[in-house]
Homo-oligomer: A and B are copies of this chain.
Amino acid sequence: MEFEKITIIGLGLIGGSLARALKESNEVGAVVGIDPDRETIEYALGNGIIDIGSSDIKEGVGGAEIIVISTHVGIITDTAKSVFPSATQGAIITDVGSVKSAVVKGIEPYLPADIHFIGGHPIAGTENSGVKSADSKLFNGKRCILTPTEKTDPLAKSKVTGMWELVGSEVREMDPETHDHIFGLVSHLPHIVAYSLINTVLNAQDSDVLLEFAGGGLKDYTRVAASSPEMWAQIFKANKSHLLEAISMFKDSLGEIEEAIENEDFDTLKKKLDKAARTKRNL
């Protein structure tokens, strides 16, 4: 047994998948799941996703070596604080939020002595959500980013690294601001753009006709735009400064193409498109 007890708070797609993967590893004595929704707990217990279930944080976190907060980004900080009083000495809190700087700044300064924290972000997910989509292979071969700071306990970092490696992830480290800059550009911005593109068509007077022809290209974007609005609104809010910068950078790139069309500058236009197309071949 690599771990005696790991508690996961929030049994959605990510939390449920992590629980199921840890169970299947046979390297965790007890996988505890905490969720406010009784039906979710029942489902997770009935389908071998968790060993012990509870809707009570106090009850669920006692004795856990690692406590994984797997809620929406907007409530990670408050959830962590609600864990402090009941966590066992030496417990390590980590999370799976898509934004790291706000989370780390919201938790680290308030940590009690002998409770550790390190931010985490597994780069995995689908447009599905909820415990019923839990998939033990979700993290297999995927990256998980950990965002240690100078305050991070080395042993805590090594234990959380071990947990993610147990479910097949390749762990990478970076500081929280670098993480938020990178994922602002490669993940959050593409979602904002997809939402904006769909809304462009919806805002048009003839949106019904336009949607009838969505197969022409628009449809490729709808998978991205179908992800949970609640979740993404929280992510956008939490990563405000990096996102406003990313949007501004995007507007510059869009403006270059717009200007080339406006000026009927065919050579520049082709050059701009060719640059983008070549990238695909290298990915």
Contacts and interface: CB of A to CB of B under 8 A. Distances in A.
Interface of A: 123, 142-143, 182-183, 185-204, 206, 209-211, 213-230, 232-233, 236-237, 240, 243-244, 246-247, 249-254, 256-258, 261-262, 264, 266, 269-270, 272-277, 279-283
Q: At the interface, is chain A mostly helix, strand, loop or mixed?
A: helix
Contact of A266 (B237, B243, B279): B237
B187 A272 contact: no
Contact of A211 (B206, B224, B272, B283): B283
Contact of A273 (B195, B220, B222, B273): B195
A193 B122 CA distance: 27
Contacts of A203: 249, 252-253
Contacts of A253: 196-197, 199-200, 203
Determine which residue in A196, A211, A237 has the highest number of CB atoms from chain B within 10 A of its CB, and name it: A196
B204 A275 contact: no
B199 A185 contact: no
A279 B202 contact: yes
Given A210-B185, A218-B190, A224-B217, A199 B247 contact: no
A159 B228 CA distance: 48
Contacts of A197: 189-190, 193, 250, 253
A183 B216 contact: yes
A211 B279 CA distance: 9
A223 to B, nearest CB: 7
